[in-house]
Amino acid sequence: MPMPEWLRIRRGKHADQRDAALWSKCPMCGEVLYRRDLAANLFVCTKCAHHFRMSAYDRISMLIDGDFAEIGAEVTTGDPLAWVDKKTYPVKIAADREKSGINEGVVCGIGAIDGCEVALGVMDFHFRGGTMGTVVGERLTMLLEEARKRALPCIIFTASGGARMEEGMFALMQMAKTTAAVARFMGDGNFFVTVLTDPTTGGVSASFAFESDVIVAEPKAMIGFAGRRVIEQTIRQKLPDQFQRAEFLLEKGHIDMVVERHELKSTLTRLLRYAASGKKVRA
């Protein structure tokens, strides 16, 4: 999979550093995989088909045809509570930037998937566990507002441990803010798809993730409101492995489809084409 020039520039030195790690071990089957083969296979284990967590830019380059015009990249993390736990919040953010190669938990922008222009937001679990602080909320809101203005469909990939505690109530209120933006976007008759990847929990699952027209999930993705540990502590017993997995949610009727990563791009393209052939009706 060739990397577009703009992406190579944006990822800068971090991508090179990460690529220096030549081998990855599959957390499911233990197979040791050559990193380049793994990337060529869309970060799906060649032995057991385990779907690795993907970085935001890897996802974008997997889906987007050519250029990707980023939205909200200039919005960066504040520290409204002057937060300190074992470390200060700015120190944690700096470490996450270094580790993930991105500057916040979501990358948003406009691009085309197989010729269909789309507003795309991709969360990245490698940055603060994909938690939603005000930057994530603000960027997604900017994305939805731009999509509404241009009457584009919107796809958001979720990967999140929930609201970002280091920003306190400012983080919780992003659930309200993104929901308000989704409601306006959808109210104009625009098409909204969410793709839930491992894991999607807490304040993200309880807001825009479950507000879309079509909810797609990746195989075995952990999806739920309460974390597994919290439930296990509450009921004082172990949960079965398939509990809160994508397949379990499909069976229960919470999501529309479970799609393997190799089929994801073609599936999303078909969905975008179905929606594009309709005549929009405002709510």
Nearer of residues 234 and 277 to other proteins, judged by Cβ: 234
Query: DSSP label at 2?
Result: P
Site for other proteins (CB under 8 A): which residue of 49, 75, 250, 257? Answer: 75
Site for other proteins (CB under 8 A): which residue of 116, 175, 195, 275? Answer: 175
Site for other proteins (CB under 8 A): which residue of 69, 95, 151, 230? Answer: 230
Helix (H, G, I), strand (E, B) or coil at 23: strand
Q: Which residues pair with 214 in a beta bridge?
A: 193
Question: How many Å apart are CA 69 and CA 108, to the nearest integer?
Answer: 8
Helix (H, G, I), strand (E, B) or coil at 226: coil
Question: How many Å apart are CA 210 and CA 206, to the nearest integer?
Answer: 7
Cis bond before residue 90 (omega within 30° of 0): no
Nearer of residues 28 and 206 to other proteins, judged by Cβ: 206
Distances from the Cα of 100 to the Cαs of 18, 104, 111, 263, in angstroms?
9, 9, 22, 26
- At its nearest, how many Å lie between other proteins and the CB of residue 193? 15
Question: How many Å apart are CA 185 and CA 196, to the nearest integer?
Answer: 20
Nearer of residues 4 and 78 to other proteins, judged by Cβ: 78
**Which residues, numbered 236-265, are part of the site for other proteins (CB under 8 A)?**
239, 243-244, 252, 254
Contact window for other proteins (CB under 8 A) among 23-31, 106-114, 174-182, 263-271: 174-182
Site for other proteins (CB under 8 A): which residue of 12, 27, 30, 187? Answer: 187
- At its nearest, how many Å lie between other proteins and the CB of residue 53? 19
**Which residues, numbered 102-121, are part of the site for other proteins (CB under 8 A)?**
none
Question: How many Å apart are CA 82 and CA 257, to the nearest integer?
Answer: 42
Q: Which residues pair with 51 in a beta bridge?
A: 44
Nearer of residues 38 and 217 to other proteins, judged by Cβ: 217
Question: How many Å apart are CA 77 and CA 155, to the nearest integer?
Answer: 23
209 is a contact residue toward other proteins (CB under 8 A): yes
Report the interface residues with other proteins, using CB under 8 A. 74-81, 83-86, 134-135, 137-138, 141, 163-177, 179-184, 187, 202-203, 205-211, 223-226, 230-231, 234-235, 239, 243-244, 252, 254
